[in-house]
Amino acid sequence: MTVKELTKNFKVHEREAGLRGALHSLMKRSFRTVTAVDSISFGIEPGEIVGFLGPNGAGKTTTMKMLSGLLHPSGGTIDVGGYVPFQQKEAFKKRITLVMGQKSQLIWDIPAAETFLINQAIYEIPDAQYRETVGELTDLLDLEPLLKKPVRTLSLGERMKCELAASLLHRPEIIFLDEPTIGLDVNMQETVRRFIKAYNERFNATILLTSHYMADVTALCKRVIIINHGRILFDGDLNQLVSTHAPFKVAKLVFSKQVEEVDLDRYGTLLHYEYPQASIQIPREEVSQQASRMLADLPVQDFTIEDPPMEDVIGMAFAAKEGA
Ligand SMILES: Nc1ncnc2c1ncn2[C@@H]1O[C@H](COP(=O)(O)OP(=O)(O)OP(=O)(O)O)[C@@H](O)[C@H]1O
């Protein structure tokens, strides 16, 4: 998949407040242009899972819609699996899918199994292949007990599992996942994550994923693209992002006895101390040395070294860019 200088402008109608504004806008409409995606370029190799991150309104969904052919770009070029998405060729539609966590394609009053049959017809999936794929997806997602119930009676997580299956029946090799875990409880998020990983491994599918849950990103994506105000801020290895923008780790300690706060400052920057727990920020190159010192000097009952939370790392990446 290759994207070059992709841009999307929306024309939005502006109206002054109040009755005068309403009357005025009847006579003369005034428009403002919003640039949702501003000349972004990137390439994604077959089989890669890439995290597409950014704050609300950054342009992620707009980009996904252009990549899947739902929106016509204002500028730039897109090649997805050898196709130009907005030409909406049948062969292209059979190779991709767009799953939006906030929107459902399942029909509310009938069981998911029946939506599956409709999709079989739409995508012209031969019977044998359809049965095999439904069987595989049913196993991977544990769908058996869900398929015959009307969709409206399913929980959000159960519906999301059916949603994923419905979107993957035609075995697309390029998948756009827009917030697939939104609103799900922690266990169901983990189930969906495991499924995405298994699907990617089994079919070598290329996946572009947006999520506000950093656990999705750290579990699935080696590479991330971060956008803000429609522009790419970072595109590269997740580990590199962390080591560039957070050149430190956080030691989490649990003590078996009270320790003086001043004693903890000696090992790094004390972030938090409330007996029996403390967290201390330590420069990466000092981690092993300071860890052995702490274990030797302090009444440590439990000890872990972690990367800082991804939210913080991304926050630091934004701050660095704005400061530059
Ligand atoms: N149809 C539209 N008409 C006008 N403006 C739009 C339209 N769709 C999106 N926008 C604007 O484009 C910008 C990018 O929106 P987009 O939905 O792509 O962001 P996002 O990164 O997906 O955000 P979120 O994380 O909240 O889903 C926003 O300022 C949004 O208001």
Residue 19: CB partners within 8 Å, gap ≥ 6? none
Segments of the chain scoring below 70 in pLDDT: 322-324
Q: Is the domain of 259 the same as that of 125? A: no
Q: What residues form DSSP beta bridges with 234?
A: 226
What pLDDT, on the 0 to 100 scale, is given for residue 324? 60
For CA atoms 305, 309, 314, 320, give the dihedral sign: negative
312 lies in some domain: no
How far, in Å, is the centroid of ligand 1 from the Cα of 94?
26
Nearest CA to ligand 1 atom 12: 36
pLDDT of the residue at 126: 96
Put residue 69 in one of left, alpha, beta given phi > 0 → left and psi -120 to 50 → alpha. Answer: left
Determine which residue's CA is closest to atom 6 belonging to ligand 1: 10
Same domain, 71 and 100: yes
How would you label 192-204 residue by residue, b for 16+ Cβ within 10 Å and e otherwise?
bbebbeebbeeee
Positive/negative CA dihedral, 147, 151, 157, 161 = positive
Q: How far apart are the first and last CA of the chain?
A: 31
Task: Provide the 10 A C-beta neighbour count for residue 165.
Answer: 26
Q: Which range of residues forms the domain containing residue 258?
A: 247-306
Are 236 and 258 part of one and the same domain? Answer: no
Do the domain assignments include residue 276?
yes
Query: Does residue 56 belong to any structural domain of this protein?
Result: yes
**One domain for residues 131 and 66:** yes
**pLDDT tens, 41-58?**
999 999 999 999 988 899
- How many domains, in total, are found in the chain? 2
pLDDT at position 19 is 78
Q: Are 50 and 71 within one domain?
A: yes
User: 43 with 165, same domain?
Assistant: yes
Domain assignment present for 230: yes
**Does 60 contact ligand 1 (Cβ within 6 A)?**
yes
Report the residue count for the chain.
324
Regarding whether 198 and 104 lie in a shared domain, the answer is yes
Provide the phi-psi class of 203: left if phi over 0, else alpha when psi is between -120 and 50, else beta.
Answer: alpha
Q: What is the pLDDT of residue 323?
A: 64
The pLDDT of residue 210 is 94
Closest CA to 235 of 227, 247, 243: 227
Per-residue model confidence (pLDDT) at position 73? 97
Q: Give CA separation, 20 vs 12, 24, 29, in Å.
A: 19, 6, 13
119-137 residue pLDDT tens = 999 999 999 999 999 999 9
Residue nearest to atom 3 of ligand 1 (CA): 10
Q: Are residues 213 and 285 in the same domain?
A: no
Whether 262 and 226 map to the same domain: the answer is: no
Cβ atoms of residues 69 and 95 within 8 Å: no
- 25/114 same-domain check: yes
What's the CA-to-centroid distance between 35 and ligand 1, angstroms? 9
User: Which ligand 1 atom sits closest to the C-alpha of 54?
Assistant: 21
Give the pTM.
Answer: 0.85
The residue type of 175 is I
**Residue 319 located in a structural domain:** no
Do both 71 and 103 map to the same domain? yes
Same domain, 272 and 238: no
Residue 14: per-residue pLDDT: 76
Cβ proximity of 163 and 188 under 8 Å:
no
| d(CA 33, ligand 1 centre) in Å | 13
